[in-house]
């Protein structure tokens, strides 16, 4: 049950790990050759792993961690490791995953005593490696989706049984979707913290007999004093809905480490919608590292794929240390980038995906080129308090991509509401778009300063309908 915070428990275990491991006289290699509970010595050849041991789970073997482990020297998982319990922690100097790590589903369906969380993955280590083909996978292990004519479960559960044939998508880091024109079908509220992902995702609502909404993604928390290398996959996606119901929201991934490296995928996407249901909102990814210079992978907290008239869905959050935004050299990213107010990176090549920078007064410098391709979307919004400034040292190329920049109000210096400077040339190919949005009541606008500009046929630099706002009933127009 939800009783101990993620950092308090993990930090206590980390102190034990890095404070000096007391190796027992019987330190040995323990290999699980048959399935069962971690504490069952029989599956390990007679004795469960002790302090200082090297533990190996063979391929094809499933071991359930029913209690926290001893402080191991190493753990190599070639099979399946299942976490059972909210406070179960695996502690080891090194952890290598070539198989699968997961946890049991969060099964609370009674909100009367507050939503209780049952299970999560918690790993405390020095170094962790998820190899190519390896997975830490808690897809659909969050709160359940609704069944029949019920809401989804969890703090952001989607609505069910309200609008015919239209369950709302689950919410967590981003709002779930609902059927257009039926506000009662929307999901529950977003919840939790962007800086520390510490909840599983919520389920989608259901509005059809004998089907279920999608379950939310689970929760993964890794506390490493050294390097976390992901060549495989760490995933906490929501599950797609079945007929007339909503998708589950993405879950949570929280990683603390000295260095983040690898070319794998971190994913907390919402589940897709079906029929007239709403798509699940994005989950939360929080990354607290000292360096991500070795990261070349994907960061994804997107909403589920919408269908028909599903609206209102939103991206989840991706929190990174300010000033330490990873470069993107060709990966698909999805999410609202949080906590970045100033950062310099070598290159930004968004190969598919949808990224929105959240913070006001963002000062972003890209030393060489920025590319948006394969239907990639990049947004620089404003909250109206400070101007965004983006400087590109090379070229800006949109190849089937979309860039949106929004301005803040202007009342003096600077005399622009947002700035985009490109030293080289801006190339806008066919089916690509740049949208500058002026402030709707003040008129502050985006200043572009380019070394050159090429707009191909059917490409657009488009400010149509993006000036002063129109009037509403009882109010004059702006401007």
List beta partners, residue 275. none
Tokens found for residue 222: 């890794």
pLDDT in tens, 31-54: 999 999 999 999 999 999 999 999
* Exposure of 215 in the CB half-sphere (CA atoms within 13 A): 18
355 closest CA partner among 378, 339, 371: 378
Residues 6 or more apart in contact with residue 460 via CB below 8 angstroms: 428, 432, 433, 434
Tokens found for residue 288: 């607290």
Give CA–CA dist 41/48, Å, rounded: 4
Under DSSP, the state recorded for 258 is S
For the chain, give percent helix, strand, coil, nearest 5.
5, 35, 60
453 closest CA partner among 431, 432, 430, 422: 422
pLDDT in tens, 436-465: 999 888 888 999 999 999 999 999 999 999
Tokens found for residue 371: 């590319």
Q: What is the pLDDT along the chain (479 residues), one digit of tens a residue?
A: 544 344 444 444 454 454 444 444 458 999 999 999 999 999 999 999 999 999 999 999 999 999 999 999 999 999 999 999 999 999 999 999 999 999 999 999 888 888 999 999 999 999 999 999 999 999 999 999 999 889 999 999 999 877 677 789 999 999 999 887 766 667 889 999 999 999 999 999 988 778 899 999 999 999 999 999 999 999 999 999 887 889 999 999 999 999 999 999 999 999 998 878 889 999 999 999 999 999 999 999 999 988 777 788 999 999 999 999 999 999 999 999 999 999 999 999 999 999 999 998 899 999 999 999 999 999 998 766 778 999 999 999 999 999 999 998 887 778 899 999 999 999 999 999 999 999 888 888 999 999 999 999 999 999 999 988 765 444 444 45
**Rg of the chain, C-alpha, whole Å:** 24
List beta partners, residue 310. 179
Dihedral, CA atoms, 387, 392, 398, 401, nearest 10 degrees? -40
């Amino acid at each position: 049950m939800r009783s101990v915070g993620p950092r308090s428990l993990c930090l206590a275990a980390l102190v034990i790990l890095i404070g000096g491991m007391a190796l027992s006289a019987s330190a040995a290699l323990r290999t699980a050759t048959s399935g069962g509970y971690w504490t069952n010595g029989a599956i390990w050849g007679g004795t469960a792993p002790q302090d200082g041991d090297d533990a190996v789970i063979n391929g094809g073997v499933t071991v359930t961690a029913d209690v926290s482990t001893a402080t191991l020297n190493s753990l190599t998982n070639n099979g399946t490791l299942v976490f059972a319990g909210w406070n179960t922690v695996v502690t080891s100097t090194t952890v290598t995953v070539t198989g699968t790590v997961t946890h049991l589903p969060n099964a609370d369906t009674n909100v009367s005593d507050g939503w209780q969380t049952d299970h999560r993955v918690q790993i405390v280590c020095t170094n962790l490696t998820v190899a190519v083909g390896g997975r830490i996978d808690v897809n659909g292990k969050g709160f359940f989706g609704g069944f029949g004519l019920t809401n989804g479960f969890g703090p952001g559960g989607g609505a069910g049984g309200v609008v015919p044939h239209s369950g709302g998508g689950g919410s967590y880091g981003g709002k779930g979707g609902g059927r257009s024109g039926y506000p009662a079908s929307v999901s529950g509220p977003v919840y939790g913290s962007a800086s520390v992902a510490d909840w599983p995702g919520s389920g989608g609502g259901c509005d059809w007999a004998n089907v279920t909404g999608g379950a939310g993604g689970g929760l993964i928390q890794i506390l490493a004093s050294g390097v976390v290398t992901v060549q495989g996959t760490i995933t906490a996606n929501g599950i797609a809905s079945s007929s007339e119901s909503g998708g589950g929201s993405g879950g949570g991934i929280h990683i603390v480490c000295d260095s983040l490296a690898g070319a794998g995928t971190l994913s907390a996407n919402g589940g897709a919608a079906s029929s007239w249901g709403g798509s699940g909102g994005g989950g939360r990814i929080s990354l607290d590292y000292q360096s991500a210079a070795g990261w070349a992978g994907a960061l994804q907290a997107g909403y589920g794929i919408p269908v028909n008239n599903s609206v209102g869905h939103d991206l989840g959050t991706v929190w990174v240390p300010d000033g330490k935004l990873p470069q993107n050299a060709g990966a698909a990213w999805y999410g609202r980038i949080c906590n970045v107010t100033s950062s310099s990176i070598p290159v930004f090549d968004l190969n598919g995906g949808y990224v929105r920078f959240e913070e006001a007064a963002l000062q972003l410098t890209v030393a060489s080129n920025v590319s948006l391709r394969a239907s990639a979307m990049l947004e620089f919004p404003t909250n109206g308090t400070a101007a965004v400034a983006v400087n590109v040292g090379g070229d800006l190329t949109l190849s089937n991509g979309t860039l949106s920049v929004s301005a803040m109000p202007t009342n003096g210096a600077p005399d622009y509401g947002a700035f985009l400077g490109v030293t080289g040339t801006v190339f806008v190919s066919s089916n690509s778009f740049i949208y500058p949005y002026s402030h709707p009541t003040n008129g502050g606008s985006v200043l572009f300063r380019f070394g050159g500009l090429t707009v191909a046929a059917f490409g657009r630099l488009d400010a149509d309908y993006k000036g002063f706002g129109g009037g509403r009933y009882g109010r004059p127009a702006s401007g």
